[in-house]
Amino acid sequence: MQIYATELLGSETYDDQGHFVGRVREFFIEPADQPNRVSRFLLSRGRFAPLLARHDQVAQVAPGTIRLNCSERALELYRPNESWLAVRKDLLDQQIIDTKGRKVVRVNDVDLAELRTNGNVELRLTQVDVGLPGAVRRLLQGVVAPAVVRKLQGNLPARTIRWEFVNLIEPDPLRRVKLRITHEKLEDLHPADLAEIMEHLSAAERQGIIASLDEQTAASVLAELDERLTTQIVEKLDPEKAADILEEMAPDAAADLLAELPKETSEELLEEMPGLEAAEVRELLAFDPATAGGMMNTDFVFIGESATREEVLQWMRSQDLNFEQLDTVVLLDGAAQFSGTVPVAKILMANSEQPMGDLRTEPLLSVQADADEADVFDLFDKYNLRMLTVVDAHGRPMGAIAVDDVVSRLVKK
Amino acid sequence: MNWAAISKWSEELQSRGTDLQKRVRGLRRRVALLLAVVGPGLITSNVDNDAGGISVYTQAGAQYGYALLWSLIPMTIALYVTGEMCARMGVVTGKGLSDLIREEFGFRPTFFVMITGFFVDLANVVAEFAGVAAAMQIFHVSKYIAVPIAAILVWVLVLRGTYRQVEIIFLVACVLYLSYVVSAFFAKPDWLEAARHTVIPSMHLNASYLVMLTGLIGTTIAPWQFFYMQAGFVEKKVSARQYPQARADVMIGSISCMVIVFFIIVCTAATLYTSGQHGITDAAEAAKALVPLAGKWAGTLFAFGLLNASLFAASILPLSTAHVICEGLGFEAGIDNKWREAPIFYWLYTILIVVGAGIVLLPHAPLWKILIFSQVGNGFWLPVVLIFILLLVNRRDLMGEYVNTVTFNVVAWITAIAMIALTLVLTYTSLFTGNAPSP
């Protein structure tokens, strides 16, 4: 049988002799023990100290009444325990993340299922109710008989989330450990979805989630978030962790982020980062954000124009390249000057002995680092570019602008 | 070809960045810092001067001249103290007021706060559209044309805009309140007398004076504004570090709101009161009466001010209400969502506008009764909301180091109790006696 937290709270509890013990004020789950079993019931007894009934002391559960299989004397006294999840306090009315529906929702009620074992009844948390039936139950509980409420809710559209898809949000890191709250399920979400979820949370909650994600995921989520939020988050992070996350980000994204931070903070983070990455980011920070230099990414692939397809592929395999960015490579001539670009697709189709110079895309396009962003947008639009090379005064490539950077800038305008 | 070579080339470029450029960037950032936060406080406080408010201020000036000006200073403090608590809660917790009420007090209290809020706000929306109708009548536009256009305008504005765009339009509306300032100068008031009455309180212990005083305060602090302001700061993602800027925003808002009230009262005091027209009961009537006394422009500006205020509040009230209800019940809310993402939010918003404007268009609409209801409703709802706010803002587990200080609590509770007492008096007089100020 299914029973709801709303019906359980306030239930009258009787011992094995049929004597009244108290009313259920709260019940707990011990995630460290079993992730979904109601392990203890808190019974309030007016002016007497509240008692706890363990799951194996419960003989029968019905809406409004609980019968124990022991006497009142066998119950332990209540002492708060941080590692118990209090259903009423920690779950009801709180926000949770629905990892399947990929959004933040508020819990109206909690559904429990009975599990009979020898001599006692266990309750298992099956799903949380985020729809109208739960809301109606909460509203009418204690005013209208449970049977009537049950009949009424049958006509309402249900919206529930299975317990295994529920991710609790707990800003306190210590409590998070005690309650065994991990954000592993969140790491499986697309960073863009996770970023959107984060926008719906409070600052402390966002902080909690970012701090518990692995650096790789945290970096991709930060890249998707509104820049106002990213700066807030990074400022509050432990500098070491923040530097680790920045290191995982693309240098241009990291530079954009650091540019929004106060000078001392960004310096501190750069100090924490490994020298190579830090130098790369520092160099990008020097450019005005509204120029080609401010948009470019120094993380680009460049090869000599005389190299053959075979040599290039061999070299590429040996490198740890970022596949998402890798769709065009930059060619250099003998004087290390820009001499065109080649789409990777073209390289794939070429003969193994074909030199890269034969494959270059016409016309040869590049911009100076100080070119205005509007010129960059025009070039991308006119030539349907996916990537544009940024060169210095001597025609030497120093970075590349990818089409996704252009899109996100245009959307922001 | 290696990475270090590229790095060396760009070093040349880097050195070209001049010191001046950096300094300009620093200044820009500082201005941006403030601008990033300013908005919710300024907007909310100015919306307090809505159609109902302007009517009451007009009457106060027409009936008592400059005599009630002294009440503006305590009112500014009350407005600031109450608003600041919400701003602080929004900034520190990152959650809306109805979110917090729901999380800390449970479903049922939240539900009742929201249902009451819905009907009270609906009555207020009717009042705003009635204000639009009245103002446009002065410009010889029938309400059957003006009100539907206003309703569509308001609806589209929020539906089509992002929070940023809508906020900019709202900020412009705040500036348009200055029409009252100009209007007041046309009226050629006795500035010295006005200044004297602003600083030196004068109490008259007769019933109608007290009722007018109560009315002034009652219309200035409306319960829904707390929800709106807090939601505004939350939606702007203002962080606790930006709290000083948020506080400044609330303070600028409270003061600018009261400055406008000052000029409205001064304008009507210098004209209507001086010429003996003490019985003016609404703002539209006042605008007409101003023409022979202070010139055509004063009257037109006065009416324009009323139109602006009514439209402004009519855009914000339905928005705020839909927000509050969805937040509390756990539905998606906020104008940065698409209709599909937050259907209940947009439906509530639409219903409030359609029904609110529709009632004004009914040929024999009992507008007067609805206006009284809106005021009574505000009166009953306000103490409840204020007490919730005070309970929440004193919770250390929520607010951390930002809980109310003792001094602030004393001021806030005095404000709350005074507000409660005054609104109860106002409610009583609106319901049971004939001499309430007309909203």
Whether the CB of A304 is below 8 Å from some CB of chain B: the reply is: yes
Whether the CB of B366 is below 8 Å from some CB of chain A: the reply is: no
Which of the four pLDDT bands, split at 50, 70 and 90, describes residue B23? low
User: Contact, B70 vs B194, CB < 8 A?
Assistant: no
Pair of tokens at residue A390: 């940024």
Q: Which of A258, A286, A314 is the last residue of a domain?
A: A286
From first CA to last CA, the distance across chain A in angstroms is: 56
Which of B10, B23, B239 is the best mutation test for A, with the most CBs of A within 10 A?
B10
- Cα separation, B36 vs B34, whole angstroms: 5
Identify the pLDDT of residue B354. Answer: 93
A393 vs B contacts (CB less than 8 Å): 12-13
pLDDT more than 90, % of chain B: 3
Identify the pLDDT of residue B207. Answer: 67
Taking an 8 Å cut-off on Cβ atoms, the answer to whether B10 and A105 are in contact is: no
Pair of tokens at residue A93: 């009315």
Whether the CB of A336 is below 8 Å from some CB of chain B: the reply is: yes
Whether the CB of B193 is below 8 Å from some CB of chain A: the reply is: no
Which of A170, A283, A296 is the best mutation test for B, with the most CBs of B within 10 A?
A283
A139 vs B contacts (CB less than 8 Å): 107-108, 111
Q: What is the CATH number of the domain that holds A218?
A: 1.25.60.10
Identify the pLDDT of residue B17. Answer: 44
Instruction: Looking at the structure, tell me whether residues A153 and A29 fall in a common domain.
Output: yes
Instruction: Looking at the structure, tell me whether residues A155 and A203 fall in a common domain.
Output: no
User: Contact, A268 vs A366, CB < 8 A?
Assistant: no
* Mean pLDDT of all residues belonging to chain A: 85
Strands A109-117 and A12-14, by their bridges, are unpaired
A207 vs B contacts (CB less than 8 Å): none
Instruction: Looking at the structure, tell me whether residues A10 and A156 fall in a common domain.
Output: yes
Instruction: Looking at the structure, tell me whether residues A47 and A135 fall in a common domain.
Output: yes
Q: Is residue A296 part of a domain?
A: no
Average pLDDT estimate for B11-35: 54
Measured at the alpha carbon of residue A27, what is the angle toward residues A26 and A31, in degrees to the nearest 5?
140
Identify the pLDDT of residue A261. Answer: 83
Identify the pLDDT of residue B25. Answer: 58
Whether the CB of A50 is below 8 Å from some CB of chain B: the reply is: no
Instruction: Looking at the structure, tell me whether residues A238 and A376 fall in a common domain.
Output: no
Chain B residue with minimal CA distance to A202?
Answer: B94
Taking an 8 Å cut-off on Cβ atoms, the answer to whether A279 and B111 are in contact is: no
Instruction: Looking at the structure, tell me whether residues A199 and A55 fall in a common domain.
Output: no
Residue B10 has pLDDT above 60, yes or no: no
Of A247, A203, A241, A240, which is closest to residue A225 (Cα–Cα)? A203
Taking an 8 Å cut-off on Cβ atoms, the answer to whether B9 and A202 are in contact is: no
Residue B3 has pLDDT above 50, yes or no: no
Pair of tokens at residue A28: 């707990």
Strands A103-106 and A95-98, by their bridges, are antiparallel
Whether the CB of A306 is below 8 Å from some CB of chain B: the reply is: no
Residue B224 has pLDDT above 60, yes or no: yes
- Cα separation, A281 vs A267, whole angstroms: 11
The residue ranges of DSSP E strands in A69-130, in sequence order, are 76-77, 85-86, 95-98, 103-106, 109-117, 120-129
A93 vs B contacts (CB less than 8 Å): 102-103, 106-107, 110
Instruction: Looking at the structure, tell me whether residues A12 and A102 fall in a common domain.
Output: yes
C-alpha distance from A19 to closest chain B C-alpha (Å): 31
Q: Is residue A170 part of a domain?
A: no
Taking an 8 Å cut-off on Cβ atoms, the answer to whether A283 and B11 are in contact is: yes
Whether the CB of B1 is below 8 Å from some CB of chain A: the reply is: yes
A299 vs B contacts (CB less than 8 Å): none
* Mean pLDDT of all residues belonging to chain B: 78
Q: What is the CATH number of the domain that holds A399?
A: 3.10.580.10
- Cα separation, A107 vs A128, whole angstroms: 6
Q: Is residue A294 part of a domain?
A: no
Identify the pLDDT of residue B9. Answer: 46
Taking an 8 Å cut-off on Cβ atoms, the answer to whether A283 and B5 are in contact is: no
Out of B9, B94, B241, name the one closest to residue A396 (CB): B9
Which of B1, B2, B9 is the best mutation test for A, with the most CBs of A within 10 A?
B9
Domain of residue A211 covers: 182-286
Q: Which residue did the predictor score with more confidence, B294 or B182?
A: B182
Q: Chains A and B: how many Cβ contacts under 8 Å?
A: 88
Taking an 8 Å cut-off on Cβ atoms, the answer to whether A336 and B95 are in contact is: no
Out of A229, A283, A302, name the one closest to residue B7 (CB): A283
Which tens digit of pLDDT belongs to each residue from B389-408?
999 988 888 888 888 888 88
Helix or strand or coil: residue A190?
Answer: coil
Which of the four pLDDT bands, split at 50, 70 and 90, describes residue B32? low
Whether the CB of B240 is below 8 Å from some CB of chain A: the reply is: yes
Out of A93, A204, A304, name the one closest to residue B106 (CB): A93
Identify the pLDDT of residue B352. Answer: 93
Domain ranges of chain B: 46-432
In chain A, which stretches have pLDDT less than 70? Answer: 324-325, 413
User: Contact, B274 vs B114, CB < 8 A?
Assistant: no
Average pLDDT estimate for B190-199: 79
Which tens digit of pLDDT belongs to each residue from B323-354?
888 888 877 777 667 777 778 888 999 999 99
Instruction: Looking at the structure, tell me whether residues A151 and A236 fall in a common domain.
Output: no
Q: Is residue A267 part of a domain?
A: yes
Give one DSSP letter per residue of B282-326, joined into a string: SHHHHHHHHHHHH-HHHHHHHHHHHHHHHHHHHHHHHHHHHHHHH
Token pair 């205005």 is at which residue? Answer: A372
Residue B19 has pLDDT above 60, yes or no: no
Taking an 8 Å cut-off on Cβ atoms, the answer to whether B21 and A288 are in contact is: yes
Instruction: Looking at the structure, tell me whether residues A275 and A316 fall in a common domain.
Output: no
Identify the pLDDT of residue B140. Answer: 81
Assign a CATH topology to domain B46-432: Amino acid/polyamine transporter I (1.20.1740)
B5 vs A contacts (CB less than 8 Å): 336
Which tens digit of pLDDT belongs to each residue from B156-187?
877 776 666 777 777 777 777 777 777 777 77
Token pair 């209709």 is at which residue? Answer: B339
Which tens digit of pLDDT belongs to each residue from A123-145?
888 999 888 888 888 888 878 87
Which of B107, B110, B325 is the best mutation test for A, with the most CBs of A within 10 A?
B107
Instruction: Looking at the structure, tell me whether residues A333 and A378 fall in a common domain.
Output: yes
- Cα separation, A193 vs B284, whole angstroms: 51
Identify the pLDDT of residue B364. Answer: 77
Q: Is residue A85 part of a domain?
A: yes
Instruction: Looking at the structure, tell me whether residues A120 and A213 fall in a common domain.
Output: no
Identify the pLDDT of residue B24. Answer: 57
Q: Which residues on adjacent β-strands are paired with residue A387?
A: A402
Identify the pLDDT of residue B355. Answer: 92
Q: Is residue A397 part of a domain?
A: yes
Q: Which residue did the predictor score with more confidence, B309 or B427?
A: B309
C-alpha distance from B121 to closest chain A C-alpha (Å): 22
- Cα separation, A173 vs A178, whole angstroms: 9
- Cα separation, A296 vs A403, whole angstroms: 10
Average pLDDT estimate for B378-389: 82
Which tens digit of pLDDT belongs to each residue from B42-69?
777 777 778 777 877 888 888 888 888 8
